[in-house]
Structures are given as C-alpha cells and as structure tokens.
Amino acid sequence: MNGEGQIEPALNEYTVDALIRSAVTQADSLGLRVPDARAFSEPVAYLAMFLEWFPEVLSVWQQGRLACIDNGSWSAFQSRVLSPVKQWQLQLAGGGSVVVVTSAGVISTIVADLLGENLAWQRELNVCLYNASVTRLSLSDTGQWLAGPINCIEHLDGRDLQTLA
C-alpha cells in the first residue's frame, strides 16, 4: 500500500436496521422477544434495551435461522470481512503496518476470529464497542495474533465524547 489509503469493500458493515426489521418480522417463528414499540421510536432512551436485545438477533443470524435479504447470511458476512486478513499478515510480516477504520460488527468479527474467541464473545464485543475506539492487534514472530488494547477510548477527552450510540 506504500502509505496510501485504500477503500476495502470487504470491510463494509452489515445493515443493523435490516437485521432488526428481519428479526421483528420473523420473531414468532424464531422465538425472539421483541422490545416494546417505544424502544423503536425512542432509541436513545432505550439504548440499554437494544444493547441487551441485539446479541439475540445476532445469535439467530449466526445460527443461520434469521433470513435477511439485505445482509445475506452470517457466514457470507464473516467470510467477506475476514478476506483481507491474509494480505494484512503479509504486510506485517514484511515490516509494514496496517490501519483499518470500520464498524463494530466488522471489528468484533475480525477480533474474535483472530483471537480464537467464540461467537458469544463476538456478540458481546459487538455491542460494547465505543464509537471512535481503538483496537490494536499485532502478529507475533510465530504468526499468532495478539491483542493490545481493545475498545480503547483514552484518546477521547471527556465522557461527553464517549458514546455507544
């Protein structure tokens, strides 16, 4: 890459609204509870409810039980966002560095996979990542991925800059 940025379409986020609409539409057949209608009309006021509920939506999507036309399958999403990893390994092994800017679903999927964590861990990380947080991974000499800070927000002065929504 030689210090120049590039846009990597493989790292595009899934559409949260589409997953939510699909989950609400299919809730009965999936056995999902659906938050109160007020939560959908006032998402900031009901953020805690969404953060508790959304991992359930992700879980049924990851199990292949939630059909979502806009997002496709979880396995296709996961494969897509993991596809640049081999290139990153080559860049790092060659003494380069990689900086990736993307969203919580992509970050949590990549981090969980590279660290060998399960999907329950991925879902919890997904909903707790702060906007504008930094997660640092490195590659050891043996080719193992190592985690530095995950979800670090120390660069944001003041609690008013630190939001999940």
Question: In the prediction, which pLDDT does 2 show?
Answer: 55
- Beta-sheet strands, E only, within the chain: 137-139, 145-147
Residues 114 and 149 in one domain: yes
Considering the domain boundaries, does residue 78 fall inside one? no
Question: Residue 22 sits in which domain range?
Answer: 14-72
Which residues on neighbouring strands pair with residue 137, listed in sequence order? 147
pTM for the whole structure: 0.87
Residues 65 and 98 in one domain: no
pLDDT (tens digit per residue) in 98-154 = 999 999 999 999 999 999 999 999 999 999 887 778 888 898 889 899 998 888 777
pLDDT (tens digit per residue) in 71-94 = 999 999 999 999 999 999 999 989
Distances (CA, A) of 138 to 4, 69, 70, 78, 143: 20, 35, 33, 20, 9
Cβ proximity of 103 and 13 under 8 Å? yes
Considering the domain boundaries, does residue 1 fall inside one? no
**In the chain, how many domains are there?**
2
Considering the domain boundaries, does residue 5 fall inside one? no
Residues 67 and 133 in one domain: no
Considering the domain boundaries, does residue 7 fall inside one? no
Residues 90 and 162 in one domain: yes
Residues 158 and 106 in one domain: yes
Considering the domain boundaries, does residue 79 fall inside one? no
Section 39-50 average pLDDT: 82
